[in-house]
Amino acid sequence: PPVLIIRPPKFVTVDLDSKSSSNPTVLRCIVDSYPRAKITWYHYGELIAEGSLFNLTNITKREQQGFYSYHIETDGFEPIKNDFIIYIKGKPLIYIQESKQYNRLFECQVYSSSPILRITWRLNDQPIESSDQLSISTTCADYSCTSKLAYDYPRIIPSSKTFNRLSCIGENEFGIEQSRLYQMDTSDDPTMILVSIILITFVLIIIFSITAIYCCCRVRRIRKKHKCLNNKNLPIVYDEHYSINELIKEVGSLRTCNNLLNNIDKLSLQMESTG
């Protein structure tokens, strides 16, 4: 496998008030491998450079701080990815993201060169705390704290019409800083997707049932009409062994079979004697 000599360190602090900040900051990643590795550099996931040497100089704006990463790709080996932080001394640097490993979990990463005093969460500009609907846990290490928010979609988000803007706020001795607003999308919630599938299935079952009932009734009406027409075309033969009561029944059944034909039915009686 490739032998890696990694630069820069995981956390880089830049003090804009210090004279040393006038010197250029050089970030380097040197890879000794065969075949030659491909190295790409990213800032918040956006490609900014390629090659084994990346120079970041003239850091004068807070927009230049944040999360950087480098990717190392060598033929025949798994890609290698590492992150590092460039932090300008002052208010905390905050980054909020949804967990890639667990559903319904947000992570807020707060970085600071001085102690982090407090981390709070807000939903639609309202503070939220641990409860039956959600839990908040925070762990800290050198220069950073990670606050995790585990939530229940239907309970903390009452309606899809709300803004559902989630943010994280960090505080240190230099002041308070808020993360970017994260727009929570209920369409990705498995519970909402399952409910939608059930409702669609229920509606389809109702439509198919109504269609089936309509078709059955229509078929029965057509068969009944054909039967009545066939019976109408058959002449009634009367002989002396055929009782008058049975003849009356036959005539009555023909006239009540189809009410639309009652006014135009004409009964022809053919009487034959066998004597």
**Domain range summary for the chain, segments of one domain joined by +:** 3-88, 93-187, 189-223, 235-275
Confidence of residue 119 (pLDDT cuts 50, 70, 90): very high
Of the two residues 74 and 119, the one the predictor is more confident about is 119
pLDDT, tens digit, for every residue of 236-255? 555 555 555 565 665 555 55
Cα–Cα distance measured from residue 243 to residue 22, given in angstroms and rounded to the nearest whole number:
126
User: How far is the CA of 191 from the CAs of 84, 123, 188, 195, in angstroms?
Assistant: 36, 20, 9, 6
Cα–Cα distance measured from residue 86 to residue 244, given in angstroms and rounded to the nearest whole number:
112
Which of 49-58, 150-159, 192-201 is the least confident region?
A: 150-159
Could you tell me if residue 149 is left (phi over 0), alpha (psi between -120 and 50 degrees) or otherwise beta?
beta
Q: Do domains 3-88 and 93-187 have the same CATH topology?
A: yes
Superfamily of domain 93-187: Immunoglobulins (2.60.40.10)
Strand ordering across the sheet containing 144-151:
93-98, 105-111, 144-151, 134-141
pLDDT, tens digit, for every residue of 69-110? 888 888 888 888 888 888 888 899 998 888 777 667 888 999
Percent of the chain with pLDDT over 70: 60
Confidence of residue 214 (pLDDT cuts 50, 70, 90): confident
Cα–Cα distance measured from residue 232 to residue 47, given in angstroms and rounded to the nearest whole number:
87
160 touches 186 (CB < 8 A): yes
96-117: burial string, b at 16+ Cβ within 10 Å, e else: bebeeeeebebbbbbbbbeebe
Overall pTM > 0.85: no
Residue 163 gets which letter from DSSP? -
Confidence of residue 269 (pLDDT cuts 50, 70, 90): very low
pLDDT reported for residue 267: 44
Query: Is CATH 2.130.10.10 the right assignment for the domain spanning 3-88?
Result: no
Q: Largest Cα–Cα distance in the chain? A: 140
12 has a pLDDT exceeding 90: no
Cα–Cα distance measured from residue 119 to residue 129, given in angstroms and rounded to the nearest whole number:
11
